[in-house]
Amino acid sequence: MEEQLVHFFNEYQSQAVLISIILSIVVAIMGVLPSFFITAANITFFGFWPGTLISFIGEALGASISFLIYRKGLQHVIHPYLKQYPRLMKLINSTGREAVYLILLLRVMPLMPSGLVTLAASMGTISVLSFTVASSLGKIPALLLEAFSVYQIMKINRLKSWLLELILVYAIYRLWRKTKK
């Protein structure tokens, strides 16, 4: 998926930043798709720090827009399903600083789906501004961890490619030497 996205960025270079941000918003609204493939494409195409910044902007905007959409349209439908997540129920029932703190904490927690945090927060009474600030601040460590992980995996994949090429060149050389004798 990352390769197709990088190819798409190459075809539409002047709109690549906007395309990336819009894709991040769509992924956030859907709430179930992982965003790491967008982060990987951003890092590959824009470079590590610019790609990470673009991913952050897209994810922050996506969370805020999702929050508004969820608050307007899904409150009554989804609320019963969230009862199986006690931490999320605590967020729904919290107010003020406690809600901000919980959003920060839940954003940093590994394996806590971002869409569920946004959904639960939208069911509560936290303001859009407080949610946006807390969510964005909480995304920073998680996104940096994701970006560094993606970057390391990309480096490992490049190293594998170089090693395979080196082995292939060596095998061809050995074969050539053998046929020459």
pLDDT digits (tens, 9 = 90+) for 106-159: 888 766 788 888 988 998 889 999 999 999 999 999 889 889 888 888 777 666
Predicted local confidence at residue 110, as pLDDT: 65
Separation between Cα atoms, residue 181 and residue 174, nearest integer Å: 11
pLDDT in tens, 29-62: 998 788 888 999 999 999 999 999 999 999 999 9
Separation between Cα atoms, residue 60 and residue 58, nearest integer Å: 6
φ, ψ of residue 84 to 5 degrees: the values are -80, -5
Separation between Cα atoms, residue 149 and residue 146, nearest integer Å: 5
Q: Domain ranges for the chain, please list them.
A: 2-146
pLDDT value at 20 more than 90: yes
Give me 88's structure tokens: 């999320």
**CB burial readout 106-144, b (16+ within 10 A) else e:** bbeeeebebbbbbbbbbbbebeeebbbbbbbebbbebbe
Predicted local confidence at residue 133, as pLDDT: 96
Separation between Cα atoms, residue 103 and residue 114, nearest integer Å: 10
